[in-house]
Chains A and B, each alone.
Chain A
């Protein structure tokens, strides 16, 4: 499982890197712009990310915008739905509007911080990533 963590906060980044590192290579980005570049490169080289953990509140480009753009990129590249990246929003924001708009923008899961290893694993199993 190839993962990308998009996170501007170092503790979350470290925890996710450690937890996801058990299942395969992990890349990191500190905002939506960096994430877009990595996703674009991955699509160009046909070496897609299986999972993206995406924070919402980040400088430069927030998670909602990044999510929309990633889905658009996948569409532009005619990526078949079975190959589309599973995106889990990992945020400390737990209000209805953020959760709803994340799902409206086609995220696959939403985990509220603090990051919990059990919940993360359950989510990965639900998405058939592990």
Chain B
């Protein structure tokens, strides 16, 4: 099995064995010297015997120690080999385009995905500068991102990388600068970029279409304001024949009038009848004042106040469900916005008539509501 790196644990273990052996030798030498001087009778024989015994013990201990250490060394080497295999497997089979470069950008190692995406052989890329593969327009941004990055924190940039056929692929690169190397994990985002650009164009087109449609709808509504039919056909709405006031502002003879949409009001307020009664009471008291104010602004030629007042009547009537009054107020507001107030006197007459009808109707209806 080929083991490329030398793990620092191996050196540590070897040094440990050496130091243990030297210590053992030292202890035994001291022991011999002690025996030599302490034993007075037949020192040579005693020394010889003890030396043999000591040598035997020393060799035994060394063999035991070496076996033990060689076993742990073997384990370390196996673990390193396994890690190296895992690293190779991870590097070569990842879904990201992995690349390790030197601090200067020289490519040290790449995984096969780069070849797959760019179409350039692995061997051709190794040893080249990574930034030479980046589109000239993106190079400055890519290098500046690398330069301003802080060690051990992940940063990112997007760039176009040159392919073998001189086309480009958009790559989003996350990178980390560590020690003397740059670790890059790239992802091919070309399709995403293309669809994003397509989507932006479509959004812009739709926005223009929507604007045109709104403008057209508003224009049509303004033009046809006098012909607007009542919107609701709820059974609780009150429909009475429309007395003729003026042909310019009158609804068609066949049309039915929606004075008050009680069902709609109840639905909007989630059947809160107390609130319904409260706002109807307020509306009945307030709306005649609002209409008088509208007339006053019209006679004082204050166009902005006239528009604002008509808008207020429209909003209040809309909230209450006084559909006829809302429509006429809207017509006055629109006429004011157009700057053509020739129809406003007739519309005000119509509004007053509708208000009278509404109040007459509500005088009887409120009795029922208050019960």
Cα-based distance from A91 to B316 in the complex (angstroms): 11
- Name A residues whose Cβ lies closer than 8 Å to a Cβ of B: 8-12, 14-15, 18, 55, 57-59, 91-92, 95-97, 113-118
Q: For the A-B complex with A114-B264, A117-B272 known, give 8 more contacts whose Cβ atoms are closer than 8 Å.
A: A11-B315, A11-B319, A12-B319, A15-B275, A18-B275, A59-B305, A97-B214, A116-B268
- B321 / chain A contacts, CB cutoff of 8 Å: 114
Given A9-B315, A12-B316, A114-B319; A96-B275 close (CB under 8 Å): no
Q: How far is the CA of A116 from the CA of B316 in the complex (A)?
A: 13
A113 engages B315 (CB within 8 Å): yes
The 8 Å CB contact of B319, one of A8, A58, A115, A118, is A115
A115:B268 contact, CB within 8 angstroms: yes
Whether B199 is near chain A, meaning CB under 8 Å from some CB there, is no
Do the beta carbons of A14 and B282 come within 8 Å of each other?
yes
| Shortest CB distance B35–A (Å) | 83
Roughly how many angstroms separate A115 CA and B267 CA in the complex, as a whole number? 11
Give Cα A61 to B302, complex, Å.
17
Chain B CB within 10 Å, residue with most, of A8, A11, A15, A92:
A11
Using A14-B278, A14-B282, A113-B319 as known contacts, say yes or no to A8 and B312 having CB atoms under 8 A apart.
yes
CA of A96 to CA of B268 in the docked complex: distance in angstroms? Answer: 24
Say whether B311 contacts A14, CB under 8 Å. no
Q: Are B269 and A15 in contact (CB under 8 A)?
A: yes
Q: Which applies to chain B's interface (DSSP): helix, strand, loop or mixed?
A: helix
Point out the residues of chain B lying under 8 angstroms from A18, CB to CB. 272, 275, 278
Known A8-B312, A9-B312, A11-B283; contact A95-B319, beta-carbon cutoff 8 A: no
* Residues of chain B within 8 A of A114, CB atoms compared: 264, 268, 318-319, 321
B369 close to A (CB within 8 Å)? no
B169 on interface, CB distance cutoff 8 Å = no
Binary interface encoding of chain B residues 180-217 relative to chain A, with 1 for a CB under 8 A from any of its CBs, else 0: 00000000000000000000000000000011001000
